[in-house]
């Protein structure tokens, strides 16, 4: 695991060192972090916000068994759990290293981090194949390609945001003076794969035969963790897109590629 963690940390601090040394006119650096640096997968908070940190320790991160904590999940989704855990490790230590650098080195710039959860939204970049799509949108791709028509897959992560809102958050983080020195938890709220499937069913009836059964249960827990995204709204001025708009636009972009 050290072979993965070290590059994540050194890559982050290396860029900050280079900016300090060679770009003295830079006044602010915005880093894309993740909800992974906030979430506590062992003991979920009642409400997640940018005030919280993933409590994973360096010693825990060195344990290869962390990657296989999802081994009792169905084989096809153990991989997803593993990716979530690895991301938590990388993003937590990488982001902390950025804040520690600014605190110790006192560079001529301040720092802002953007912490989004699962990111959905239309693709705008060229793809040779939809097999190369990002992990978040892969679940939408799988729905419209019929890969989940026998059974709805578990949602795993219950918070989401549209990629266009994440992009705008980065722009606002640069433009808004008050954003300096802050973390921003950027999320539109709760979602599930069931909700996604029903949005597709309504907007694209021609895909009905590829979608999971209508009576598939929604796996949103009754006691699902809450979220506090007020700072992203009040400081950055974000107005989050709805899940419906995001999913409809995502499917439209995937069909255009040839899903």
**Helix or strand run (H / E) with residue 22:** helix 2-22
- Please identify which residue in the block is written with the tokens 């050194």: 10
How many helices and strands (H and E) does the chain possess? 8, 8
How does DSSP classify residue 120? E
What contacts 61, CB < 8 A, 6 or more positions away?
1, 5, 89, 93
Distances (CA, A) of 250 to 5, 11, 124, 224: 32, 31, 10, 25
- As a whole number of angstroms, the distance between CA 1 and CA 61 comes to 7
- As a whole number of angstroms, the distance between CA 50 and CA 116 comes to 10
The active-site residue, picked from 72, 104, 106, 214, is 72
> Taking CA 44 as the corner, what is the angle to CA 56 and CA 75, rounded to the nearest 5 degrees?
80
72 is catalytic: yes
- As a whole number of angstroms, the distance between CA 242 and CA 168 comes to 15
Partner residues linked to 161 by β-bridges: 119
Asked if residue 187 lies in contact with residue 159, where contact means CB atoms within 8 angstroms, the answer is yes
Strand order across the 110-115 sheet: 28-32, 110-115, 183-185
Known catalytic residues are: 72
């Amino acid at each position: 695991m050290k072979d993965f963690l070290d590059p994540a940390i050194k890559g982050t601090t290396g860029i900050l060192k280079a900016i300090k040394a060679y770009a003295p006119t830079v006044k602010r650096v915005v880093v894309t972090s993740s909800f992974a640096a906030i979430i506590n997968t062992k003991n979920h908070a009642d409400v997640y916000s940018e005030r919280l940190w993933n409590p994973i320790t360096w010693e825990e991160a060195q344990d290869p068994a962390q990657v296989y904590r999802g081994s009792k999940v169905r084989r096809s989704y153990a991989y997803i759990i593993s990716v979530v855990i690895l991301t938590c490790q990388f993003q937590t230590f990488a982001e902390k290293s950025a804040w520690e650098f600014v605190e110790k080195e006192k560079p001529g710039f301040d720092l802002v981090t953007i912490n989004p959860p699962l990111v959905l939204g239309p693709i705008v970049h060229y793809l040779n194949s939809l097999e190369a799509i990002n992990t978040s949108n892969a679940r939408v791709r799988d729905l419209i390609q019929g890969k989940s028509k026998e059974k709805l897959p578990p949602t795993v992560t219950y918070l989401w945001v549209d990629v266009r809102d994440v992009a705008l958050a980065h722009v606002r983080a640069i433009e808004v003076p008050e954003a300096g020195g802050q973390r921003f938890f950027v999320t539109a709220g709760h979602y599930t794969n069931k909700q996604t499937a029903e949005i597709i069913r309504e907007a694209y009836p021609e895909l009905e035969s590829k979608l999971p059964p209508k009576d598939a249960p929604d796996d949103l827990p009754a006691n699902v963790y809450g979220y506090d995204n007020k700072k992203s709204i009040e400081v950055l001025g974000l107005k989050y897109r709805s899940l419906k708009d995001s999913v409809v636009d995502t499917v439209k972009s995937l069909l255009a590629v040839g899903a």
